[in-house]
Amino acid sequence: MKVDKKKGLLLPLVVVMMLAAVLSACSNNNNGNNAAPSGSASSSPSASASESTDVKKGGEFRFTLASEPPSLDPALMTDAQSSIVAAGLYEGLYRLNSAGEPEPAIATGDEVSDDGLTYTFKLRDDATWSNGDKVTANDFVYAWKRALNPETASEYAYMLFYIKGGEEYNSGKGSADDVAVKAVNDTTLEVTLKSATPYFPSLVSHYTYLPVHQATVDANPAWAADASTIVSNGPFLLKEWAHEDKLVLEPNPTYFDKDKVNFSKVTISLVEDENTVYNLFETGDIDWIGAQAGSVPTDRTAQVIADGSAEVQAIASTYYYVFNTQKAPFNNVKIRKAFSMAIDRQSIIDNVTQANQTPAYALVPPSIAGTDGKLFREMYPDTGFFSENVEEAKKLLEEGLKEEGLTALPKITLLYNTSEGHKAIAEAAADMWKQNLGVEVAVTNQEWGTFLETRDAGQFDIARAGWGADFNHAINFTYDLIHPKSLNNDGKYSNEQVGKWLDESLAATDEKARLDLIAKAEKQAMDDMAVLPFYYYTTVTMVKDDIQGVTSDYAGHIDWVFGSKK
Amino acid sequence: MVAFVLRKVSFMVVTLFLLASLTFVLMNVIPGSPLQSEKATSEQVKKNLEAYYGLDKPMFERYITYMDNLIHGDLGVSMKKKFQTVERMISSSFPYSLRLGLVSVVTSVAGGVILGTLAALYHRRFLDHFAMIIAVIGLAVPSLIMGPLLQYIFSVKLGWFSVAGLKGPLDYILPTIALSASSIAVIARLIRSTMVEVMNGDFIKTAKAKGLTGHMIVWRHALRNSMLPVVTYLGFMIANVITGSVVVEQIFAIPGLGKFFVSSIIDRDYPLIMGTTIFYAAILLVGRFIADIAYVLVDPRIRLKGGKAGA
């Protein structure tokens, strides 16, 4: 008798499990069937409320981030998550539009001195902080000097090294007073640079250049770690920050351009798992995936691109392999070329990465701007740099070996940081080298922290690398990666001529002349096969039909601030 | 009893100290640093950061500082999440893991006991086989598979539950199943094997001879004796489950403690590694301690030893 009662308790469990087994067997054939909103009734009451309203103004926008912003303090931010949230919270001198061009924000314009060294920004006088105080030129002076102060320990302080006296102050050799930024009056900011930097307007759109509210920061160093203590000046205010769970933003009623702001609420959930993000999109719990705000699971990418439910957009990041140019065999340019020419990039994109990436034959990605409204790659296409040619590669390898006095290649190891995606690419590459060159390359992986240390120490033959834009200029992909003195030149590629051209490009006053020099340096580096470029990244984005004006910016970060809901 | 407790507690303190020391050394000698980043910034910036976090000091000095702070109850500030104290990170995420964990413990015990008892009572009959098949499935399908599967079927396709989060009581159901499946299986098998043995014991025959009803025998004698291995298992299981499952919390986007165990190490966030390790160890030790005491309460033989009616 007792037993029968227990069976009653057991039954629901049994039923649930059997159902799970049965349904999983027959649910494979339901592709892209997200039209029927089965709707998770319990989770978001606001979802149903916003569905009924049909106005341009208002409406909630919901997306996810894989992890919460480590900081919302402009001086301490270093990552995509922080910058995506900060784009809503703060307003700097300029704001980049989706194409990556700086547009006036707090500054209405700037004047540049003839030598290109001194920038005078005119600030609007109707911008306020969320506590009612006016945003003045002093807020910028304070914020920049604070980020440069060695005691602030800002990792991105080097973004401000363009300012005269900035690096000296940061290294303790100069004082704050020697940093050449000053407030002429409340609405005039004057900056003197170390050397002419025509992309400075683009730089001041970077988050390290955002202003902060002095009294708030001075009173509480941890001011940006909680919603209740943040004082900001952007289109949105941080209403709630449930750590590790979600951030809720609402329009700033005192924002000077508040007519441009449409969403009445923005909810950012912190969801790490890609499949979960996709499921949330399917059930209508979020409105967007992609561009660092969640990503479409790799095994679904091909399908969502094919059925048109996702969009693919080029972004300013390059995937490449670094050769250790200081060590045999890759100290030899012919051997480097042989390895690069033996890779069939399109085949790797079609069969492995599957997100319509563009094969890369150089370093600067296609979404980086050039001049006169043209993109850099439109002005200097990377098509003629080198070709994939197995016969030629074989010949080069033989010649290279002869030059080095070798009869066979030493043991070569390809190092990548542990990830399924990198592993698949590494194995495909190793297979191509084996097929095309008859070379055995061992692939090995290390956990992220270990990997970085090994690569920095030069303990590799070939290592995986990726580079994303800090600002929208080709110099960011050349000076940083191939200049002999750059700390990010991990393969220690050293061609003094390339260094010289890049130095000259920084000093050039004419933008076209500068880009010519950069292109020359890039071409030379590719002739030397300084690195092995693989592809230019893309981002796969999905958005609900009723959301407008949300896109991926040139760098591949979601640009949501001035979007709207139908 | 007092001496027993005292001995156990002092043992726990020593264990914690050794563990904290060992963890401190290990995390410092593994390659990588809290300041690691893909983009090299500048030597100067790196120096400033090292000075800021005290990483420029020798390891021993940092160890003394850390231990001193620890004794005073200060777990430090995260190196990754700016200005967030480790204490706050643990105290605000632990309740989620704790609640889900407790629900899961109760589910595991209830489910396991029911399945196990059924299997034992219907030994080698249909219900036994059936219960054990379920147990094997629960054990064989890891939460990494079970979680997404449950989510896809019940949230995406059927729309019965929300995909992620832990906002209402219904939200507990899927994560709990994913989290409990394997423990249900383990407990069911433990109960079944001991109970089959116990049911053949002389004292059960005596009880039957005395004329006790079937369910009285199961309840008063068989089940209680079969619970002993379960109690041992529970000590470990509770500690594991209430500190959060990395996998289940990630799949259901639960802002619990679980992810810190992994992310702190990937980020080389030294204070957070120390904090989570010490916290987990403390919970585990307390869990075992409670299990020891529960043993005394459940096992009639142990109680006889301490009681007045002993030999």
Domains of chain A: which residue ranges?
317-537
Q: Looking at residue B199, what is its pLDDT?
A: 80
CB within 8 Å of chain A, chain B residues 235-264: 250-253, 255, 259, 263
Q: How many domains does chain B have?
A: 1
Residues 6+ apart with CB under 8 A from B70: B20, B274, B278
Tell me, yes or no, whether B270 lies in a domain. yes
Q: Looking at residue B4, what is its pLDDT?
A: 81
CA distance A225 to chain B (A): 6
Contact B253 A272 (CB under 8 A): yes
Count the alpha carbons within 13 Å of A423 in the hemisphere toward its beta carbon.
7
Q: Looking at residue B43, what is its pLDDT?
A: 81
Residues in chain B closer than 8 A to A276 (CB atoms): 148, 151, 163-164, 250-253
Tell me, yes or no, whether B32 lies in a domain. no
Do A522 and A278 meet the contact criterion of CB atoms below 8 Å apart?
A: no
Do A558 and A550 meet the contact criterion of CB atoms below 8 Å apart?
A: yes
Contact A221 B83 (CB under 8 A): yes
Contact A42 B170 (CB under 8 A): yes
Judge whether A158 is closer than 8 Å to chain B, CB to CB: yes
Residue A201: which of A94, A305, A65 has the closest Cα?
Answer: A94
Contact A276 B89 (CB under 8 A): no
Structure tokens at A442: 């061992």
Which one is predicted more confidently, A237 or B49?
A: A237
**∠ CA A179-A182-A185 to the nearest 5 degrees?**
170
| Most B-contacting residue of A29, A245, A445 (CB-CB within 10 A), to test interface | A245
Q: Looking at residue A5, what is its pLDDT?
A: 36
Is the ipTM higher than 0.90? The answer is: no
DSSP state of B178: H
Lowest-confidence segment of A20-24, A344-348, B157-161, B263-267 by average pLDDT: A20-24
Percent of chain B with pLDDT over 70: 95
Lowest-confidence segment of A488-497, B46-55, B101-110 by average pLDDT: B46-55
Judge whether A168 is closer than 8 Å to chain B, CB to CB: no
Nearest Cβ partner for A283 among B92, B159, B268: B159
| Most B-contacting residue of A9, A11, A34, A42 (CB-CB within 10 A), to test interface | A42
Tell me, yes or no, whether B292 lies in a domain. yes
**What is the residue-wise DSSP string for A446-469?**
E-HHHHHHHHHTT--SEEEEEEE-
Mean pLDDT of chain B: 87
Structure tokens at A293: 């705000």
Evaluate the omega torsion of the peptide bond into residue A253 and state whether it is cis, within 30 degrees of 0.
no
Judge whether B161 is closer than 8 Å to chain A, CB to CB: yes
- Which of the four pLDDT bands, split at 50, 70 and 90, describes residue B302? low
Judge whether A19 is closer than 8 Å to chain B, CB to CB: yes
Q: Looking at residue A464, what is its pLDDT?
A: 96
Q: Looking at residue A24, what is its pLDDT?
A: 40
Judge whether A456 is closer than 8 Å to chain B, CB to CB: yes
CA distance A94 to chain B (A): 24
Q: Report how far residue A410's alpha carbon sits from residue B14's, in angstroms, rounded to the nearest whole number.
A: 52
Q: Show the domain range for B288.
A: 94-304
Q: Looking at residue A30, what is its pLDDT?
A: 35
Contact B162 A40 (CB under 8 A): yes
Tell me, yes or no, whether B41 lies in a domain. no
CA distance A389 to chain B (A): 32
Cα B198 from chain centroid (whole Å): 29
- Which of the four pLDDT bands, split at 50, 70 and 90, describes residue B249? very high
Q: Looking at residue B203, what is its pLDDT?
A: 80
CA distance B1 to chain A (A): 37
Tell me, yes or no, whether B219 lies in a domain. yes
Taking chain A (566 residues) in runs of 10, the rounded mean pLDDT of each run is 37 43 38 34 38 64 94 93 95 90 94 92 95 96 96 90 94 94 96 89 94 96 94 97 95 94 96 95 96 92 93 94 94 96 96 93 94 92 91 95 90 93 95 95 92 91 94 92 91 95 88 94 96 96 95 93 94
The CATH number of residue B99's host domain is: 1.10.3720.10
Nearest Cβ partner for A276 among B30, B164, B219: B164
Q: Looking at residue A256, what is its pLDDT?
A: 94
Residue A432: which of A365, A516, A346 has the closest Cα?
Answer: A346
| Most A-contacting residue of B26, B37, B39 (CB-CB within 10 A), to test interface | B39
Nearest Cβ partner for A2 among B150, B155, B218: B218
Q: Looking at residue A1, what is its pLDDT?
A: 35
Contact A3 B89 (CB under 8 A): no
Contact A452 B36 (CB under 8 A): yes
Residues 6+ apart with CB under 8 A from B25: B59, B63
Q: Report how far residue B173's alpha carbon sits from residue B248's, in angstroms, rounded to the nearest whole number.
A: 12
Do A412 and A329 meet the contact criterion of CB atoms below 8 Å apart?
A: yes
CATH 3.10.105.10 fits A317-537, yes or no: yes
**What is the residue-wise DSSP string for B93-161?**
HHHHHHHHHHHHHHHHHHHHHHHHHHHHHTTTSHHHHHHHHHHHHHHHS-HHHHHHHHIIIIIIIS--S
Q: Phi and psi (nearest 5°) for B26?
A: -60, -45
Q: Report how far residue B254's alpha carbon sits from residue B99's, in angstroms, rounded to the nearest whole number.
A: 11
Q: Looking at residue B300, what is its pLDDT?
A: 64
A362 backbone φψ class: left, alpha, beta (φ>0; ψ -120 to 50): beta
Q: For the whole model, what pTM was predicted? A: 0.85
Average pLDDT of span B69-93: 93
Q: Looking at residue B268, what is its pLDDT?
A: 92
CA distance A354 to chain B (A): 23
Which one is predicted more confidently, A197 or B310?
A: A197
Lowest-confidence segment of A130-134, A291-295, B186-190, B294-298 by average pLDDT: B294-298
